[in-house]
Amino acid sequence: MSELILIPGETTLAQLERVWREGLAVRLADSARPGIAASAARIEAAANGDVPVYGVNTGFGKLASIKIASKDTATLQRNLILSHCCGVGEPVELETVRLIMVLKLLSLGRGASGVRPEVIALIEAMLARGVLPVIPSQGSVGASGDLAPLAHMAAAMLGEGRATYDGREMPAAEALAAAGLAPVVLAAKEGLALINGTQVSTAFALAGLFDAFASARAALVTSSLSTDAIMGSTAPFLDEIHTLRGHRGQIVAARTIRALMEGSEIRESHRIGDTRVQDPYCIRCQPQVTGACIDLLTQVGRTLEIEANAATDNPLVLVGADRIVSGGNFHAEPVAFAADQIALAIAEIGAISQRRIALMVDPALSHDLPPFLTPDPGLNSGLMIAEVTSAALMSENKHLATPCSTDSTPTSANQEDHVSMAAHGARRLRRMNANLAHILGIEALCASAGVEFRAPLKTSGPLQKVIATLRATIPALDQDRYMAPDLAEAARLIHDGTLVAAVPADLLADLLAEVTA
């Protein structure tokens, strides 16, 4: 398995996406090791001292006033982990579990958490050998860290709870042993360092961002096909229009659509003599809408890149100042806001795509395409109900896009009296992205059929390759058939990037630069 060397504080979104998509193992750069050791030494000294230090020789939360004897340090940390294993719901997907562990490594690697090198080494080894904790997906309010889910991660390191290894779920102790690893015995503060932090919320949000950005790229491809299918004007995509406004995403979106449609015989056929003055907004305003979504996702990417590299547990060891200080970096408000913004972008990309679908199946609006894109309407319903399905998914995503960050409820006997709700705010993005992939897949089906009805005129070379890719697994709908497999396959082609991969990479290079720059 390939291994990435990550520098805490400098890890990029591109690196994290590779970890998530490719399952790479990671190792912290050697430059991080001295800071880790120095903070661990400071915690050890505090644990053996008489001064109360929160989480080191005291209880937790509302119990912080209770002093703990140094002989009970290991028991305190173990009890903390086991008592916090209160997660419920479906297990987190393994690729996201891996990302959670990598984010925890990056946070601990800042040298402010006080964990020993042995803890770092065990996380690295678990990633390298494929021992992944089973983490229930629900239970965090995104405030005093993602306590419950991170406790399940930490419990596996102790040989408690469950983990997966070699494709099988088993008791964590068995998984560690099968991989040649031994459980760790936690020292002072190490349990608290493992469960404090925003790594679960941030991993959910990053996964949502990666898929949302991929969908934004796919939407430019499907919308270009739709524009040709309804013989839409390309005048609204002129660069001068968009540079006059100045938004980067809008400019790039318009440029990409122009490039994708360059050389289309369909477009050339109606430059002269078309009596339409303007196309509907879902065609004419594609750069403005999808471009705004790209800009929003880009801003979110910057926030999440910072958060991925942040020290977010409590208390933090300020080695240079020789202090251990309680703060609130575990509060996931930045992640909650980021998740809400991603949700808005997903909903809007789907909303305008659905309107293009509706445009293509409506003979009153589709510029001479047959009703519901079937060659024999009446006897056949064609893509009539596929459009209805897209409307249902669009509406569901609108409801799911309701902000979560504006919610809060006091927890832990009012000690934690304002929480972010970042975890479930970010977790919903997986469902929203799945809905969006289906919407865009349905648009690809409709647009491909629409372009095929324009024969013998042809669309552009890049878009012909997109249609050929679609038709390799989904035949044209000449007559009605059982449709669900077609929709599932179209969604897969969107979600795994197959449809976009049919387009020359340089046509979408600027979009990649937007989020990775």
* H/E element, 354: helix 333-361
Helix (H, G, I), strand (E, B) or coil at 317: strand
What residue has token string 């430019």? 220
Q: Are residues 257 and 224 in contact, defined by beta-carbon separation less than 8 angstroms? A: yes
Burial class of residue 352 (count of CB atoms within 10 Å of its CB; 0-12, 13-18, 19+): buried
Q: Residue length, the chain? A: 517
SS (H, E, C) 235-264: HHHCHHHHHHHCCHHHHHHHHHHHHHHCCC
Phi, psi of 85 (to 5 degrees): -80, 75
> Distance between CA atoms of 64 and 68, rounded to whole angstroms?
10
Greatest Cα-to-Cα distance within the chain, rounded to the nearest angstrom: 89
Q: Which of 471, 475, 442, 462 is nearest to 508 (CA)?
A: 462
> Distance between CA atoms of 245 and 240, rounded to whole angstroms?
9
What are the distances in angstroms from CA 411 to CA 13, 120, 417? Answer: 33, 30, 6
> Distance between CA atoms of 277 and 355, rounded to whole angstroms?
19
Q: Say whether 54 is catalytic.
A: yes
Please identify which of the residues 54, 165, 281, 482 carries the catalytic annotation.
54
- Tell me the catalytic residues: 54
